[in-house]
A = this chain, B = another copy of it.
Amino acid sequence: MSLLSLFINAGLSAVGAVICYRLILDYIPIFIARKMYGNDQCKVSNAPVPEPMGVICAAVYLIVMFVFIPFPFIEWIGMDTFPYAKLLAILSGLISISTAILLGFADDMLDLRWRHKLLFPTLSSLPLLMVYYVSGNSTTVIVPTIVRHLVQPFVVLPITINISFIYYIFMGMVIVFCTNAINILAGINGLESGQSLVISASVSLFNLVQVYRFGADENAAGFWHHIISLYFLLPFTACTAVLFYFNKYPSRVFVGDTFCYWSGMTLAVVSILGHFSKTLMLFFIPQTINFLYSIPQLFHLVPCPRHRLPKYDAESDTVSMSVAEFKKSQLKTLGSIFITICRSIRILYVEEFEKDGEIYVRMNNLTIINLVLKFFGPMHESSLNGLLMLIQMLCSCLAFFIRFYLASLFYDVVE
């Protein structure tokens, strides 16, 4: 029955994609009329591009989910053993997702303050974590074999350790990280929707592999974990694919923060409901590197310009890395250390020059978009996005390799 629901889910996802396509075309002129648009900074023409179109797809996604919810439960209706915990899991996930959409849309319209942007998703994940708790879900982690062997002379570690509330803190951090990770790796045509599409397709593939491995044992807990993830991800992948079609170079719509929060929260939610939040992090490798690389600018260890987008050259129709310039005297100690280390391992373009008797520093802005441009030189915007998509896909391959091959070397027990 769970597999049958999965086919129904896939069918509804296809319907959702068609509706997304029509509604986007329908609402493009309405967005323009209401002055809800951005200007594409990497184009010669400065034509308005409707933004945030993500809200339309997100609304369709919610409706598809609402219509779908009854199907997995039809067989249980009227029975004493109704699987309340499973329905609770789905509803709590949808609450987090719908509030993330609301937050994103409010952010697009209002430019919310940072503290509200961090606090709101944390609090809106409370129902999800509470349901996780009352459903008696596991908070145990498996101790890597190598760690057990290393510490064996001193202490005998069990195969699994219950880390209890630390696990909840970890899950909360996954949610905050995911809802912001896609938002800070953004700015060129097709990047936000493209990376989300690659990640959600990869995670769906991972779920399908796991479902296949569990075989037809529908009662195995692991089976349900990957099925529920697919319930959320197939409609998401379908709606996002349509959005990507309009968002890819040259963008006819922009996705907005609405999409970034929706996308991040959906992926975080499925990883928590599906008990694979650590695996999810493997699929977020580019976003994680981008976040770590961005830290000095995000936390103002080095001066941060208002925009960190690549620089557009109209003559050659290419984009190249953008730079930040500042007086060397403005640098804090931590910033200097960061620059020295990055320079020595060649992951930073740095130049010093003199102006008006003072020493200035010029360095590339700290995003992996600029880092890719540093290595490969100026290129066309669509090539740049293609290259970033390729990196994302290679990281997905790496994630599969780590999850299915390396993990079996490090862990005795792997689901």
Residues of A within 8 A of B (CB): 27, 30-31, 34-36, 55, 59, 62-63, 66-67, 69-70, 73, 76-77, 82, 84-85, 87-88, 91-92, 94-95, 98-99, 101-103, 105-106, 109-111, 120, 123-124, 126-127, 130-131, 133-134
Contacts and interface: CB of A to CB of B under 8 A. Distances in A.
Given A85-B84, A134-B73, A63 B27 contact: no
Contacts of A69: 126-127, 130
Nearest to A70: B130
A13 to B, nearest CB: 16
Copies per complex of this chain? 2
Given A69-B127, A126-B66, A109 B110 contact: no
Nearest to A68: B126
B102 A63 contact: no
A70 B131 CA distance: 9
Nearest to A130: B70
Main secondary structure of the interface of A (DSSP, over half): helix
Which of A31, A63, A92, A134 has the most chain B CB atoms inside 10 A of its CB? A134
A345 to B, nearest CB: 42
B70 A123 contact: no
Given A36-B110, A91-B92, A92-B91, A77 B127 contact: no
A63 B110 contact: no
A110 B66 contact: no
A110 B27 contact: yes
Contacts of A130: 69-70, 73
Nearest to A106: B55
15 contacts: A27-B110, A34-B111, A59-B103, A59-B120, A62-B102, A63-B124, A67-B123, A84-B85, A84-B88, A88-B88, A91-B91, A91-B92, A91-B127, A101-B102, A109-B109
A105 B59 CA distance: 12
Contact of A59 (B70, B84, B102, B111): B102
